[in-house]
């Protein structure tokens, strides 16, 4: 016996009220239900078909990600858009066959599915790499190349960057770079937190008026908040223009922890040329060219506690964001967000400091997938606490 998709009543299949849509026949108990279907429900079916063509997402995923951990708001969006979902005993329940169309998941207010929801607003996404021969940087070295362009053109007075301690190899030290040499020395990723805000405040107090600031999302957020603060910082931040260059960040680790894990694996920090987290592995390149690939889980106990609560992979408040995920090896993914970020990046390209092309849909999808992991990790934390 068919089910009226509007009022959810079971009716006889010899009813005089029916409609054909999308190769399927729908039956109704009255002209009112048929009219509602013809004017409203067709758009829902079209949405389901479009979503199912993009990605197969079943009710089971909604149950696993949202309902089971207790994140469901009981708004009823899933039941309103699917005739086989109902609210029972204070939770959504599947009462019929699931077509894995994904509409319940995409309409849920607790899932994050849009580009802007996952990585923030941006104008254009690029794959880029440095075009400067003498430069060595992480992935494509684009941040360093952009800083060199801005300094050479007099667009910035200085750059707040992170470099290595000379006394303790690979320990992050915030630095105020005012020369090409100092900027070049700051290339490469360091997976320990750097307190760059102190260097920024120092630059402003020294009278620097145009400053490039390089940092992860938490540091970028701090700068943004200080710019908007009404609590005593007005006289400082009104005098300085700050170009915020954000780095993609999934995790940071205690310096002592990184050192300990590497030593257990027979690697001395003073022999390390580069570190990189890629595809769930911690990759270490030594100065003699040898490479070591370690499990990222080896570093879990040294993960910064605040990273468990961070949901921002792409430094959403930056003028430009940079990361290794998405682009091919040797390239950097670049998200040009603000007007000034877009202009300065493209000027650097036009003047031969950077080589760039638009990011493909497939490459951007890789960024979105990693961003989704970061966005919903608080849900996973909630699940662990319930178990």
Instruction: Specify whether the CB–CB gap between 354 and 145 falls below 8 A.
Output: yes
CA atoms within 13 Å, Cβ hemisphere of 34? 13
Same domain? 178 vs 35: no
Nearest to 107, CA basis, from 141, 139, 76: 76
Query: Across-strand partners of 302?
Result: none
Residue 107 lies in a domain: yes
Q: Examine the domain organization and report whether 150 and 206 are in the same domain.
A: yes
H or E segment to which residue 278 belongs: strand 272-278
Shared domain for 177 and 313, answered yes or no, is yes
For residues 201 and 233, state if they share a domain.
yes
Question: Residue 116: inside a domain, yes or no?
Answer: no
**Whose CA is closest to 58, among 90, 34, 82?**
82
Q: Which of 51, 75, 90 is a domain's end point?
A: 51
Domain span at residue 45 reads 1-51
In angstroms, how far is CA 37 from the centroid of its own chain?
Answer: 39
**Residue 74 shares a structural domain with residue 214:** no
Looking at the predicted structure, is the pLDDT value of residue 52 above 60? Answer: no
Q: Phi and psi dihedrals of 292, rounded to 5? A: -125, 135
CA–CA dist 312, 375 (Å, integer) = 7
Provide the pLDDT for residue 58. 87
Q: What is the structure's pLDDT at 383?
A: 46
Can you spell out the DSSP letters for 207-262? T--EEEEEEEHHHHHHHHHHHH--SS-HHHHTT-EEEEEEE--S--B-HHHHHHHH
Residues 184 and 130 occupy one common structural domain? yes
79 Cβ contact partners less than 8 Å away, ≥ 6 residues apart:
85, 86, 87, 92
In a domain, 171, yes or no: yes
How many whole angstroms separate alpha carbon 208 and alpha carbon 157? 6
**Is-contact 144 348, C-beta < 8 A?**
no
Between strands 332-336 and 124-130, the pairing is antiparallel
Which of the listed residues 10, 36, 51 is the one where a domain comes to its end? 51
Mean pLDDT of 275-289: 84
Confidence of residue 385 (pLDDT cuts 50, 70, 90): very low
Which of 173-182, 233-242, 259-268 shows the lowest per-residue confidence on average (mean pLDDT)?
Answer: 233-242
pLDDT in tens, 311-361: 899 999 999 999 989 999 889 999 999 999 999 999 999 999 999 999 999
Phi, psi (degrees; rounded to nearest 5) at 327 = -75, 160
pTM: 0.76
Q: pLDDT tens digits for 125-139?
A: 999 999 987 665 556
| pLDDT number for residue 229 | 74
Task: Point out the domain boundary residue: 62, 83, 111.
Answer: 111
In this structure, of 216-225, 297-306, 338-347, 374-383, the range with the lowest mean pLDDT score is 374-383
Measured distance CA(128)–CA(140) in Å, rounded: 6
pLDDT at 8 over 80: no
Pair 66, 187 in one domain: no
Q: Is 255 left (phi over 0), alpha (psi -120 to 50) or beta?
A: alpha
Residues 6+ apart with CB under 8 A from 251: 191, 277, 296, 299, 303, 304, 307
What is the model's pLDDT at position 40?
63
Say if 367 falls within a structural domain: yes
With tokens 């360091």, the residue in question is: 190
What is the C-alpha to C-alpha distance for residues 104 and 59, in angstroms, rounded to an integer? 7
Per the structure, the count of domains in the chain is: 3
Burial of 47 (0-12, 13-18, 19+ CB in 10 A): middle
- Whether 66 and 168 map to the same domain: the answer is no
The pLDDT assigned to 352 comes to 93
Shared domain for 222 and 98, answered yes or no, is: no
Would you say residue 299 lies in a domain?
Answer: no
The mean pLDDT of 149-167, rounded to a whole number, is 92
**What does the pLDDT read at residue 287?**
86
Instruction: Verify that 221 and 323 share a domain, yes or no.
Output: yes
Tell whether 236 and 168 lie within a shared domain: yes
For position 69, which CATH number holds?
A: 3.30.70.20
Among 169-173, 220-224, 298-302, the range with the most confident prediction by mean pLDDT is: 220-224
pLDDT tens digits along 103-153: 888 889 888 888 888 899 999 999 999 998 766 555 668 999 999 999 999
Do residues 65 and 6 both lie within one domain? no
Residues 256-269, mean pLDDT to the nearest whole number: 89
Spatial CB neighbours of 340, under 8 Å, sequence gap ≥ 6: 243, 319
Tens digit of each residue's pLDDT (9 = 90 or more) over 196-227: 999 998 998 898 999 999 999 999 999 998 88
Cβ atoms of 51 and 107 within 8 Å: the answer is no
Exposed e or buried b per residue across 227-254, where buried means at least 16 C-beta atoms within 10 angstroms of its C-beta = beeeeeeeeebeebebbbbbbbbbbbbb
CA-derived radius of gyration, the chain: 26
Residue 22 lies in a domain: yes
């Amino acid at each position: 016996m068919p089910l009226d998709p509007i009022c959810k009543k079971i009716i006889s299949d010899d009813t005089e009220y029916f409609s054909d849509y999308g190769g399927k026949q729908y039956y109704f108990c009255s002209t009112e239900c048929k009219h509602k279907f013809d004017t409203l429900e067709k758009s829902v079916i079209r949405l389901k078909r479009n979503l199912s063509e993009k990605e197969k997402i079943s009710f089971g995923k909604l149950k696993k990600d949202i309902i089971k951990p207790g994140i469901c708001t009981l708004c009823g969006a899933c039941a309103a858009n699917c005739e086989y979902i109902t609210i029972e005993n204070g939770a959504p329940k599947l009462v019929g066959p699931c077509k894995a169309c994904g509409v319940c998941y995409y309409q849920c207010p607790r899932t994050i599915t849009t580009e802007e929801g996952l990585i923030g607003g941006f104008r254009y996404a690029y794959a880029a790499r440095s075009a400067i021969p003498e430069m060595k940087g992480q992935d494509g070295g684009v941040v360093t190349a952009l800083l060199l362009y801005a300094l050479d053109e007099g667009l910035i007075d200085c750059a707040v960057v992170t470099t290595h301690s000379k006394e303790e190899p690979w320990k992050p030290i915030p630095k105020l770079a005012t020369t090409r040499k100092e900027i070049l020395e700051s290339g490469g990723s360091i997976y320990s937190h750097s307190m760059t805000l102190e260097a920024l405040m120092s630059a402003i107090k020294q009278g620097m008026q145009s400053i490039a600031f390089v940092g992860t999302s938490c540091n970028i957020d701090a700068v943004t908040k200080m710019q908007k603060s009404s609590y005593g910082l007005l006289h400082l931040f009104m005098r300085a223009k700050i170009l915020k260059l954000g780095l993609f960040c999934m995790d940071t680790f205690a310096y002592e922890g990184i050192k300990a894990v590497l030593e257990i694996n027979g690697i001395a920090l003073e022999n390390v040329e580069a570190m990189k987290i890629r595809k769930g592995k911690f990759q270490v390149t030594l100065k003699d060219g040898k490479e070591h690939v370690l499990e990222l889980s080896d570093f879990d106990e040294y993960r910064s506690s605040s990273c468990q609560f961070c949901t921002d992979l792409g430094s959403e408040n930056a003028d430009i964001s940079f990361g290794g995920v998405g682009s091919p090896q040797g390239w950097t993914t670049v998200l040009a967000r603000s007007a000034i970020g877009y202009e300065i990046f493209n000027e650097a390209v036009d003047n031969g400091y950077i080589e760039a092309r638009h990011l493909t849909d497939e490459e951007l999808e890789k960024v979105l997938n990693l961003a989704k992991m970061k966005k919903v990790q608080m849900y996973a934390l909630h699940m662990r606490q319930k178990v």
